[in-house]
Structure 1
């Protein structure tokens, strides 16, 4: 028996983005296939850069997704399992947020790191906050823009810290150039994994900003209906605590945040109604 588009999205999401797959388990059963489709789409555009040999080809992939969404809204979906699942469940999603997510991934095609913290924050917000808004919409809930912005920035910054070693293997750095420079570092030092103490100090600045954004997001009120859209931030908070405690040894921090810890944190957040 062939795999359905919904089954494909679930399988792909569980492999590509296990944290969001786990948080979707806390959504109502009827809403879960739509969340899986939305998150599978996000995984597709998030890996557009590393899936190709040249940035220009990555840009072509992003344009393919823009056109695919136009087809979804015009009831002529392309023959791709994620597109077909999106057509079945996500036709009414806000166009502005969908295209904002795709546009944000244009930054991934650039060779240089962000120039400064402001540039990094702009990227973090654009690549994450619209997804939380879309997830809330898929859940039939409203999410205050300021909470989506702060939670999205926090989630993205923590994700970039976690991804620093992986990106370095591709000679990519997403830490701001001026922050690296303030600690005597060049992007090449990150590639070569030298000066760990200086790199940890640079990462600490990003972590402090992520922590501020996380606290700001948590200070607001979110309905129970919208809560699953923000549960990825609960897991990001676990990772931030582990990274800080272990002086930004990313591998050690990943080992500390076990599947059981993730599950228990999400269960507790769901019971409390707070992320």
Structure 2
């Protein structure tokens, strides 16, 4: 895999464009950060998007594994003194490694988590799903907390819990999209508990047994209530000393909680379309947390 050489300025522009084009809720929280922190988290987010897109966009597992192996080498280069990685996302991130005390391990864990998607399309139970969520989201929260300005070591536990809550939200929102890719992230034991069959999800309810809507709604209510409780648990873990610096994470939590509440009104909607919030609504929720400090 080859990438054209980039200057630091070009790399930063690439990362900023990647973040803005994604339409992600993360982007709206980044807007309220000071320039240096915004540049750092934007570069890290661009890296995460690149890794995630390999799993979602490459149909041949062998090619995907090769690409991820290349990214492992790029992470090693980024953290080697005197070396410069090839990809603009990591070129943009490299100047922020020392100022924010970043280490390669979380970035490699993100790759591990995405590689797991190439090997598993089901999770037996919630503990297994939570371990996956830690790799693809908990460690992302850990890096983000450092960049945002973490001062208390206990903030790491909050960041891991918030990452879990946000990944659970992604899973709930993406039930339909994931089914089209042959993936079901909702734990098998919980599907069985609510009487929902894998085939019913994979066919988006079109080949469902009687009462599917009721069974699916009950399953989704359980998922939503657990995710909402996980947000509350995360906030309870946030030390008072870091509440001001960690507002960007709380902004994202506010946006994601609101998305969950929208899904709760009509759980079956996730099988028909991707549930989203309007950009102006996301910006309003982010501003409210920044200005008022509440959901």
Q: How high is the TM-score relative to the length of structure 1?
A: 0.90
Query: Which is further off, 194-203 or 27-36?
Result: 194-203
TM-aligned CA distance change 1:23 to 1:198, over 3 Å: same
Aligned pair partner of 1:90 in 94, 97, 110: 97
Aligned to 1:235: 255
Distance 2:73 2:186 in 1: 31
CA contact (8 A) 2:133 2:164 kept: yes
**Partner SS state of residue 267, structure 2:** coil
How far off is 1:131 after superposition?
1.0
Q: How do residues 1-275 of structure 1 correspond to structure 2 at under 5 angstroms?
A: 4-74=10-80, 75-90=82-97, 92-142=101-151, 144-194=155-205, 195-219=212-236, 220=238, 221=240, 222-250=242-270, 254=275, 257-273=277-293
**Partner SS state of residue 41, structure 1:** helix
How far off is 1:127 after superposition?
1.5
Q: Which runs of 5+ in 2 are unaligned?
A: 1-6, 206-211
**Partner SS state of residue 162, structure 2:** helix
CA contact (8 A) 2:162 2:231 kept: yes
CA contact (8 A) 1:34 1:138 kept: yes
CA RMSD of aligned residues (A): 2.2
CA contact (8 A) 2:29 2:251 kept: yes
Q: Which runs of 5+ in 1 are unaligned?
A: none
Distance 2:135 2:251 in 1: 18
Distance 1:17 1:65 in 2: 24
Distance 1:35 1:169 in 2: 31
CA contact (8 A) 2:194 2:219 kept: yes
Distance 1:111 1:70 in 2: 26
Max radius of gyration: which structure? Answer: 2
